[in-house]
Structure 1
């Protein structure tokens, strides 16, 4: 277990848990918010890359650059879909659905990356999945129309794009985290520029701009530097479980700052998620594969 990488990923996920709180205070729609945060993150990461001297030692490989650019497309779509989900449903519900992404990662990681799934990992992920279901409260959606209008589709699309981002980033080795995130935020600027309505920036308050800056510099630049620097050094199953930190943080912020009161089921979901995280971190499976383990096909 790479403890330093695990700590970085935990910190990045904990900070990302506050993205919903920042988003609803920016005062601008999803596409424009992602566009602006890409600009600020690009400037932030460029400065870090330059002043740390990383530009002098960067190793450029065509395959990894292309892979990073493709990853950037999924990353930007992930942000847009998530922010649109925030516009349609509560932060706690949206961020919890979004964090079903590790379920997709676990399955695709097994099929594409040839990683072995241990019984311990399966159990921990199932526990986290059940916890997320409790938090989401799917029983509240009584009809197809209500389901389609609830923002669930946006949240699910964001989860799928997030899973693709994690898997594509997993095999990056030579490009630095600065370059990785820099290239991806540049992709975001190019992708979203034709779709931006710059009129939405008229009349924004100082508070709005501070929250916009926060989403760009902190949630995009700093968080994704930690994210891409850590996941390449951790097994897929550990990544799959640790990312469940951010729905917990989101619900805590909802409760403390936005007067959200979790139900009993949501409280149980939080406990299950923490249980799955602790079980994975402190009880890694090291024994040879037995009947209780699944190998890749």
Structure 2
């Protein structure tokens, strides 16, 4: 379990540094996402071949379709997110994207037949308030900017990724991350080809940060993430997951000198705190269930 926690937290820190690494790549946002998914896919393909596992994903066609849909949603979300990095900076783009989990929670009664409780409703209100604090001054001055729209669309497509991923029951680990990333790459490649023509972006001045983003942040990051979450409690995964946006804010302040105003810092606390509160009901329910199992086990052993 300790090893799984270490792998999971390491993956979140890697993901949190994505915007920092991308800022050192002298390519447009679409080309960066293309190279990220391309290199990451090749890396995971090599890992999969070296592991000598058999491809089992397409035995259950329904799960395979959901997984591919999740990968496509991931690719589109990254296209919007990296464009938002360029337009409004890493800090604000990350905060906008991390409204995605709240969208999932609001849709969960319709899609997963889950009830909205006081934690989820309170979380939504707090996150919405946080978004007003973070973007209020920009909205009052310039209205809804293209960068903010990209950030919001990144959150929407992120929520689709989560919804499709939650419907996958029989695929996990390396096979899961490999298929999802390949699907992301294909949709990004199609988009880039239609928009700018089919070509491989030049790597002459960008080779190190591109390889770092593709191999370390994407390939190794996805492997650490998907190989660890199946070993950890779902509530813990959801709550600890907010280390990613926190680390992104921290890294962008240190390496990119991005500074949030006082009111934006309050908004950031609201967004992340509200999202954690909305996940708290799952965590408490999970802990209660574990406690009941321990009590029943202890009772039967005493008998």
Larger radius of gyration: 2
TM-score grouping bracket, smaller chain normalisation: 0.7 to 0.9
Output aligned runs, 1:18-29, within 5 Å: 18-29=17-28
Q: Where does residue 155 of structure 1 map in the other structure?
A: 151
Distance 2:31 2:184 in 1: 11
Q: What's the Cα RMSD here?
A: 3.5
Gaps of 5+ in 2: 290-303
Could you tell me the TM-score, scaled by structure 2's length? 0.77
User: Any idea what SS the aligned residue of 2:25 has?
Assistant: coil
Q: Where does residue 294 of structure 1 map in the other structure?
A: none
User: Any idea what SS the aligned residue of 1:67 has?
Assistant: helix
Asked if 1:211 corresponds to 2:241, the answer is no
Q: Where does residue 201 of structure 2 map in the other structure?
A: 201
Q: Where does residue 245 of structure 1 map in the other structure?
A: 243
Shift of 1:56: 7.2
Does structure 2 retain, via aligned residues, the 8 Å contact 1:8–1:226?
yes
User: After alignment, is 101-110 or 258-267 more displaced?
Assistant: 258-267
Q: Where does residue 220 of structure 2 map in the other structure?
A: 222
Flag the 1:43–1:283 CA change in 2: closer, same or farther, 3 A.
closer
Q: Where does residue 75 of structure 1 map in the other structure?
A: 74
Q: Where does residue 182 of structure 1 map in the other structure?
A: 178
Shift of 1:38: 1.6
Flag the 1:31–1:278 CA change in 2: closer, same or farther, 3 A.
closer
Output aligned runs, 1:82-101, within 5 Å: 82-101=81-100
Flag the 1:226–1:120 CA change in 2: closer, same or farther, 3 A.
farther
Q: Where does residue 262 of structure 1 map in the other structure?
A: 260
Could you tell me the TM-score, scaled by structure 1's length? 0.78
Count, aligned residues: 282
Flag the 1:217–1:75 CA change in 2: closer, same or farther, 3 A.
same
Of residues 143, 167, 181, the one that matches 1:171 is: 167
Shift of 1:55: 2.9
Flag the 1:4–1:99 CA change in 2: closer, same or farther, 3 A.
farther
Shift of 1:160: 0.6
Distance 2:208 2:198 in 1: 18
Which protein has the bigger helix share? Answer: 2
Does structure 2 retain, via aligned residues, the 8 Å contact 1:173–1:232?
no
Does structure 2 retain, via aligned residues, the 8 Å contact 1:128–1:241?
no
Distance 1:202 1:56 in 2: 33
Q: Where does residue 292 of structure 1 map in the other structure?
A: none
